[in-house]
Amino acid sequence: MSKLSAQKPGESPQEPGRPAGPGGPQAPGRVHGPSGKKWDSERLILATAGPVIALVLSLVVTGVVLLASGKNPVEPFQLMFEQIGYSDQQVLIINQAGVYYLAALAVAVGFRMNLFNIGVDGQYRLAACVTAIAGFHLALPQVLQIPVLLIIAMLTGALWAGVAGVLKVTRGVSEVVATIMLNSIATALIVWLCLTDNFGVPVGNNQTTGAMDKAGWFPGIGMGDAGEIYGFVFVAVLAGVVYWLVLNRTRFGFDLRASGASEEAAAASGVSAKRMTLTAMLLSGAVAGLAGLPILLGDTHTYSQSFPSGLGFTGITIALLGRNNPLGIAAASLLIAFLDKASSVLDYNGYEKEIATIMQGIIVIVVVVSYEQVRLWGLRRQQRRVGLELAAAAAAATPSTEVKKEAAAR
């Protein structure tokens, strides 16, 4: 199987259904807007079909499971959707979505290079722990303290991901295997760092890194009784903008996507695939290092045994569902955050909140299958379109019968 056929959803510089280049015949489904810019309706369908199919099927299958267990297949969804109207739930969903967004961006950076960074979970937890320790011992002015903590988190995540990157480019070790092992090592290292003899500070029955200096607390937006929106949510938005600009408006971004699509083609154009692999892992780890900071700097202000885990694996789901697109990832982050937070109401109404977990699992399975089917459908459409264009060009180049008769008469 070639690199191109193994690419991850939405990561190729040229997606199925996209015309070969400008200046050619207008492809079916392409519409010229008032500004003269072409808008490809077929490409939009290809981009949205996978997530829509996954969401619809997850609802249907979850409903069937509820029906088979003798429960109302509709009421749980009604109860969850009612939660959107409560301001405190809105704040919780936005805060959780910001955390998920950063984790998914970290995964997406790897995906665009055809790398599966499954180690985001260990990278963000280790980065949060090291940042919490630094925040406990540092007492700089806030204008310096917060940037220093951000840099520490990004460096920690990048260095931890870089280990897998170095192993891949020097020894050919799969990044999946390497990052899984590094997740376990990160867990053990965090436990060691939190020992009382090292940097741990016991608080009751919980082992923590101690309360961070207030200069490192990231200010949020107070929403009254509804709570506070993490100020770091806006950092997540900024990270998404930078991600899009770098990948779509810079030479580095093009080289990254091209290397992920085909190492051979990238090498032919003078791009070192090994260098891009290591760079992508470092960038992915740096973004992963930020994923735990909304909670650390905006809520707990310490790292402890109860610090949230598993965000990296949720980020994989969101990156797949959002097709590595910053807007798609944002929508998927809000969806998964909604399922997580709104499902708590189910426990009080005779339903298990694990219904939301079932939906998330189904979404992952269906989205992978549907993306492949949509990709194949897009390729078939593209092949038919190219065939029609070649046939039309050949017909135009062949003299008609009347022209031949006229030429013979002369």
Q: Can you say whether the dihedral through the CA atoms of 387, 368, 108, 284 is positive or negative?
A: negative
pLDDT number for residue 351: 86
Residues 254-293: pLDDT tens digits? Answer: 998 888 888 887 888 888 989 999 999 999 999 999 999 9
Q: What's 7's DSSP letter?
A: P
Which residues, 6 or more positions from 203, have their beta carbon under 8 angstroms from its beta carbon? 302, 304
Q: Which residue has the tokens 């090994």?
A: 274
pLDDT in tens, the chain (410 residues): 444 444 444 444 444 333 333 334 444 444 444 444 445 676 777 677 778 888 888 888 888 988 988 888 899 999 999 999 999 999 999 999 999 999 999 999 999 999 999 999 999 999 999 999 999 999 999 999 999 999 999 999 999 999 999 999 999 999 999 999 999 999 999 999 999 999 999 988 889 999 999 999 999 999 998 999 999 999 999 999 999 999 999 999 999 888 888 888 788 888 898 999 999 999 999 999 999 999 999 999 999 989 999 999 999 999 988 989 999 999 999 999 999 999 989 888 888 888 888 888 888 888 778 777 777 887 888 888 888 888 888 888 776 656 555 666 66
207 membership: H or E segment, kind and range:
strand 206-208
What secondary structure does DSSP assign to 57-76, as a single string?
Answer: HHHHHHHHHHHHTTS-SSHH
Distance of alpha carbon 203 from alpha carbon 105, whole angstroms? 34
Give the ranges where 11-141 is alpha helix by DSSP (H): 41-68, 75-82, 87-112, 120-137
User: Facing residues of 30 across strands?
Assistant: 40
Which residues, 6 or more positions from 181, have their beta carbon under 8 angstroms from its beta carbon? none
Q: Residue 101 to residues 32, 241, 370: CA-CA distances in angstroms? A: 33, 12, 22
285 membership: H or E segment, kind and range:
helix 273-290
Residues 21-49: pLDDT tens digits? Answer: 333 444 444 444 444 444 567 677 767 77
What secondary structure does DSSP assign to 349-372, as a single string?
Answer: GT--THHHHHHHHHHHHHHHHHHH
288 membership: H or E segment, kind and range:
helix 273-290
Backbone angles phi, psi at 202, to 5 degrees: -65, 135
Instruction: Report the SS3 class of residue 201.
Output: strand
Distance of alpha carbon 373 from alpha carbon 49, whole angstroms? 10
The three-point CA angle 2-103-196 to 5° equals 125
User: Facing residues of 31 across strands?
Assistant: 39
Residue pair 118/179 in contact (Cβ under 8 Å)? The answer is yes
Question: What phi-psi label fits residue 250: left (phi over 0), alpha (psi between -120 and 50 degrees) or beta?
Answer: beta
- Which residue from 386, 388, 372, 405 is spatially nearest to 46, judged by alpha carbons? 372
Helices 87-112 and 311-321: crossing angle in degrees, nearest 10, is 80
111, burial (CB in 10 Å: exposed 0-12, middle 13-18, buried 19+): buried
Distance of alpha carbon 187 from alpha carbon 339, whole angstroms? 27
Domain boundaries of the chain, sorted by first residue: 97-338
Q: Residue 42 to residues 12, 159, 261, 271: CA-CA distances in angstroms? A: 17, 41, 22, 32
pTM value surpassing 0.85: no
- Which residue from 352, 297, 379, 317 is spatially nearest to 131, judged by alpha carbons? 297
